[in-house]
Structure 1
Amino acid sequence: MGSIEQETPQVSIPVVDFSAWTPDATLEARLAVAKELADACHNVGFVSIINHGVPLELLEEAFAWSKKLFDLKTEEKMLAPHPDGPTVHRGYSWPGLEKVSQVISSDVEVGEQLRAVTDCKIGSEDNPEQPNVWLPPSTLPGFREFMTHFYWTCNTASLSILEALGLGMGLSDPSFLVKFHSGHNNQLRLLHYPPIPAAMLETEQAARMPAHSDWGSITMLFQDDCGGLEVENQKKEGEFMKVTPRSGACVMNVGDLLMRWSNEDYLKSTLHRVTLPPARDRFTGEERMTRARYSIPYFVSPDIDAVIECMKECAGQGNPVKYESVIQGEYRLMRAKLQYRETGPTAAAAPATG
């Protein structure tokens, strides 16, 4: 499918400036930001947020740390291996351990056919259900301290987004969603997409990240300038639009649980994928290799015992509740069983890529 780039339209997703979302701002100013955000999430499912509260200097430092991590030798990265099975999502995921998929099923054999992602996952230090797996301090000095600080900075920004959404949707309690998100069940991921031949993406022999929706409430994505992110057009199923990277911006999207909270009528979890980057990001030469791509998604999830059920403002006469209530922990485990093997390879057996 060599014409994939020509067939995929470029799109500028809505941009919302959060600079007016401050504690001392007038209600009118905050409401304007909130409505802009809620409308973008309703109409597109994706929005680019600027002045989101995570300083540019901190983002640049986070990407520098990510590159240092993935530049380590495989045996060094494997000093913090992702635990076996679908329960704990922490540490370094070696190539072949997991596979992002939109299939929702409890059939483990289905999940076994869907694997190929490499990343490093970090969470709250105070989450006994998801203990962090850190590299030894001597392997990458300062990494743990920086990432812990970065994690909580992102959390502060996420709470502002959730409160703004509540206000923009007209909830009787704009802070309703915030109450389910202590921050201890979020996940910070460092992603590295190594160079691969462009032809593999053009012919769909490989996908950097297949089409999927996210499991949680919202996702905040920080990305480099390589490109390749595509979102599905909510008005035309199966049509994906390339999203042009914006320096310093946070690309935010609605997740599955927030869609359930809103009864899907207002907020929909949009499919997205990472595929062929723009032509400028493909090297010349015999194999036309893509550039390496780095991104940092911050997945915002309700607390593990949170019950997700339709908000009262989102259902009524002629608009019945579409989803049964679910407990976050049970829903996450069901989705995770598709993504992870019950046992993983040893460090010695892990492929030397990532």
Structure 2
Amino acid sequence: MMGEIDPAFIQAIEHRPNPTIIQAEGIPTIDLSIISSLNHLSNTNIDENLGALIAKIGKACEEWGFFQVINHGVSLQKLESVKLAARKFFSLSKQEKMKVGRDEDNPMGYYDCEHTKNVRDWKQVFDFTIKDVVNPLPVSTDDVQTVKSFANRWPDHPPQFRNIAQEYAGDVEKLGFKLMELIALSVGLEANRFNRFFEDQTTSFIRLNHYPPCPAPHLALGVGRHKDAGVLTILAQDDDVEGLEVKRKSDGKWIRVKSVPGSFIINVGDTIQVWSNDKYESVEHRVVVNAEKDRLSIPFFLNAAHYVNVKPLEELVDERNVAKYNEFNWGEFFMTRKNSNFKKLHVDNIQISRFKKLDHKNIIASHLTHTMGEIDPAFIQPVEHRPKTTITDAEGIPIIDLSSITSNNQLRDRNDHIDARDISRVVTEIGNACEKWGFFQVINHGVPLEKLKKAELTTRKFFALSQEEKRKVGRDEAHPMGYYDSEYTRNIRDWKQVFDFTAKDPSFIPVSPDDLAPKELINQWPESLPEFREATQEYAREVEALGFKLLELIAMSLGLKANRLSGYFKDHASFVRLNYYPPCPSPQQVLGVTRHKDAGALTILAQDDVGGLQVLRKSDGEWVSVKPSPGAFIINVGDIIQVWSNNKYESVEHRVMVNSEKDRISIPFFYYPAHYVTVKPLEELVDDQNPPKYREYNWGLFFATKRKSNFKKLQVENLQVSHFKIA
């Protein structure tokens, strides 16, 4: 039942497990018996058999990024002993396990609240390093020179746990070094080429994973999709309960890795991807859970020493195959990822894609007429989030005619000549649209189209000004209204320029989560375009009036009085954004705005005839395009209405495509309550059968935190309403 699983574990629809299992036929199983008796491969004569083994390793790394090994030299008796000891440990009481709980100062030990991509993993873990005291490691990403020791934490029970775990770890570490020699040989390097990177084993560690039975295996994952940051992962998994799934490189499908008794699953990590200059690729994988059986897995994460600077190896780059990555320090990279385990709600994991250099090959392959210098890598989306070449139009998003109510300023004081049946019809249509789609369009809405056209025209004139002129009204962290062209969504730069102004002048809201005293938001207006201010503010006043009507209709659709939500907007801090999306030379890699949900109550969007808005359809998780409808506004429910309605209405993820030939204008009106409003499920919509699903939060603080992250996207991730969800 849904009540048995904390919503923090629930995956987004598009990332939930597929009920149809595809077995990973083709992932190679490689026999290592010919080297299992060797301590190392340096100075070893490469005969026909060893040459064939090296070729198999290279092919597996290149085609899959994953392979399995048998006859690997690790004692299977030691493996079974550590599995038994792990099961005994995880069967201890929570209180007993927390005696060796890990924390931010010492990330070795027990933990049960790990998140991957901000969704909680359905698992418990116990981490330990190969050596009992790892010395040294950087204290923080801000001070890589200052180092500290991390000590393993061992439980009193089971009594032999420490010895068993460390004996096993020693065997697996030796296997790891042999595999690194084989990988070095597979790319034409000396067998010992990587050895110096591991002279001090400061960051390698072993993790014991326990995945309990899960009451909702169709909603949760043991580990969300991810790539391993280190050099190599050597995984032992249960023989009888499978769970590992790999994203197949050839078609992007998730496939299940079948257990081979006595084998280890090996996967290439990000560090090898960089060293090999993308010859070998770190592949995304995840772990599914089981409704009836628990599962154990034991990955060994082979990592470089903390002082190693990671970059493409000089032997593997030349004029034809230039270095694809900038150099980065492994200790700093490792500590950023480790620290983020304890700050998942605020800090996003660093990825090697951040160090990627300009990719000329992709541009040539795409037959673009522009040079790569025109696309900053900061704009490039991860492969799984890039736009599809085939567009699915959003058939079914309702178009609602408001003509019967546009003559009324307020529905609670409606005139007698308005037929109650007309209002009832509109209320029902809006309720259905909010519940099924979270989006709808309105026509005959009462906003004069000539005012919309005038606003669009002056918007184009503004964005046609020189960059120097536009930056005279540039916004910054202290003054968040005005022009900006470097906004990030989910740490990817948006292909757009914006101009923001408040609907009410003046408006007040905290500008920083560190200082909650409300500040006046000062609108900035370009002096060189005197008609700009009047045209845009006239338009904003008309849309503001429409917003109040829509809020009344939404309140009525929830069975509330029409004016139930009005009090929250007495001193509202709503703002209008003018979006300009220039033509983009690489629309298959870039988005105007990355996937996101709107944090406010309601968004009222005007878009031109070029189109670009895509909505994540709730029914199947497909991205569908919203076709422009002349004279219509697109309305979408924001996070605040989701909370007020206690999830009856849902804020839906959406994004914006770009066009290689045409520019595009859109004008969203973001309807926000007053800064002092406390947001929580409305008391009329909760009861014993439908208890509140969210903790209350202050809108001003929430808004200030989101605003601040616009200027620090590489370090701070946006706050989300999911962080206030009640278990």
Task: Return the match for 2:709 from 338, 342, 348.
Answer: 338
**Aligned twin of 2:607:** 223
Q: Is the 8 A contact 1:92 1:121 kept in 2?
A: yes
Report the count of equivalent residues.
Answer: 308
Task: Return the match for 2:634 from 242, 251, 254.
Answer: 251
2:460 matches 1:67: yes
Q: Is the 8 A contact 2:387 2:657 kept in 1?
A: no
| Structure 1 consecutive aligned stretches of length 4 or more whose deviation exceeds 6 Å | none
2:591 matches 1:212: no
Distance 1:75 1:304 in 2: 33
Q: 1:3 to 1:325 in 2, by over 3 A?
A: closer
Structure 1 segment 1-354 matched on structure 2, within 5 A: 4-6=388-390, 8-21=392-405, 22=408, 23-24=414-415, 25-83=418-476, 85=477, 88-93=479-484, 95-96=485-486, 98-101=487-490, 113-116=491-494, 117-123=496-502, 124-128=504-508, 129-137=519-527, 139-171=528-560, 173-182=561-570, 184-197=572-585, 200-202=586-588, 204=589, 206-237=590-621, 239-264=622-647, 266-276=648-658, 289-341=660-712
Between stretches 217-226 and 35-44, larger displacement belongs to 35-44
Deviation track 1:188-225 (CA, whole Å, cap 9, x = no partner) reads: 0100000012xx222x2x11111100010000000001
Q: Is the 8 A contact 1:88 1:130 kept in 2?
A: no
Counterpart of 1:92 in structure 2: which amino acid? Answer: Y
Q: Is the 8 A contact 1:17 1:49 kept in 2?
A: yes
Q: Is the 8 A contact 2:558 2:645 kept in 1?
A: no
Identity %: 29
Distance 1:130 1:251 in 2: 29
User: CA offset at residue 132 of structure 1?
Assistant: 2.9
User: CA offset at residue 100 of structure 1?
Assistant: 2.6
Per the normalisation by structure 2, the TM-score is 0.41
Deviation track 1:109-158 (CA, whole Å, cap 9, x = no partner) reads: xxxx4444420001021214352332343x10121122222211111010
Q: Structure 2: state its 5+ residue gaps.
A: 1-382, 409-413, 509-518, 714-727
Secondary structure at 1:220 match in 2: strand
Distance 1:250 1:122 in 2: 19
User: CA offset at residue 88 of structure 1?
Assistant: 4.3
Secondary structure at 2:709 match in 1: coil
Q: 1:219 to 1:195 in 2, by over 3 A?
A: same
Q: 1:235 to 1:295 in 2, by over 3 A?
A: same
Q: Structure 1: state its 5+ residue gaps.
A: 102-112, 278-288, 343-354
Deviation track 1:51-85 (CA, whole Å, cap 9, x = no partner) reads: 112111111111001001101111111111102x2
Secondary structure at 1:259 match in 2: helix
Distance 1:251 1:218 in 2: 11
Q: Is the 8 A contact 2:646 2:693 kept in 1?
A: yes
Secondary structure at 2:667 match in 1: strand
Secondary structure at 1:79 match in 2: helix
Counterpart of 2:602 in structure 1: which amino acid? Answer: I
**Who wins on radius of gyration, i.e. which is larger?**
2
Counterpart of 1:90 in structure 2: which amino acid? Answer: M
Secondary structure at 1:19 match in 2: coil
When the two chains are superposed, the root-mean-square deviation of aligned CA atoms in Å is 2.0
Q: Is the 8 A contact 1:45 1:270 kept in 2?
A: yes
Distance 1:15 1:3 in 2: 25
Distance 2:534 2:572 in 1: 17
Higher-RCO chain (CA-CA 8 Å, sequence separation at least 6) = 1
Q: 1:130 to 1:210 in 2, by over 3 A?
A: farther
User: CA offset at residue 45 of structure 1?
Assistant: 0.4
**Aligned twin of 1:352:** none
**Aligned twin of 2:259:** none
**Aligned twin of 1:348:** none
Q: Is the 8 A contact 1:191 1:294 kept in 2?
A: yes
Secondary structure at 2:450 match in 1: helix
User: CA offset at residue 257 of structure 1?
Assistant: 1.0
Per the normalisation by structure 1, the TM-score is 0.82
Distance 1:132 1:51 in 2: 33
Distance 1:10 1:151 in 2: 27
Distance 1:82 1:292 in 2: 23
User: CA offset at residue 9 of structure 1?
Assistant: 4.5
Distance 2:555 2:387 in 1: 41
Distance 1:27 1:162 in 2: 18
Between stretches 125-134 and 299-308, larger displacement belongs to 125-134
Q: 1:3 to 1:304 in 2, by over 3 A?
A: closer
Counterpart of 2:562 in structure 1: which amino acid? Answer: P
Distance 2:396 2:662 in 1: 22
Counterpart of 1:30 in structure 2: which amino acid? Answer: I
Distance 2:570 2:620 in 1: 36
Q: 1:88 to 1:296 in 2, by over 3 A?
A: same
User: CA offset at residue 34 of structure 1?
Assistant: 1.3
Distance 1:323 1:229 in 2: 29
Counterpart of 1:187 in structure 2: which amino acid? Answer: F
Q: Is the 8 A contact 1:232 1:241 kept in 2?
A: yes
Distance 2:424 2:572 in 1: 28
Counterpart of 2:448 in structure 1: which amino acid? Answer: P
Counterpart of 2:587 in structure 1: which amino acid? Answer: L
Distance 1:294 1:224 in 2: 6
User: CA offset at residue 28 of structure 1?
Assistant: 2.4
Counterpart of 1:53 in structure 2: which amino acid? Answer: G
Distance 1:5 1:316 in 2: 46
**Aligned twin of 1:346:** none
Q: Is the 8 A contact 2:470 2:526 kept in 1?
A: no
Q: Is the 8 A contact 1:49 1:252 kept in 2?
A: yes
Secondary structure at 1:122 match in 2: strand
**Aligned twin of 1:349:** none
Between stretches 26-35 and 46-55, larger displacement belongs to 26-35
Q: Is the 8 A contact 2:391 2:625 kept in 1?
A: no
Counterpart of 1:176 in structure 2: which amino acid? Answer: R
Q: 1:144 to 1:184 in 2, by over 3 A?
A: farther
Counterpart of 2:566 in structure 1: which amino acid? Answer: V
Secondary structure at 2:530 match in 1: coil
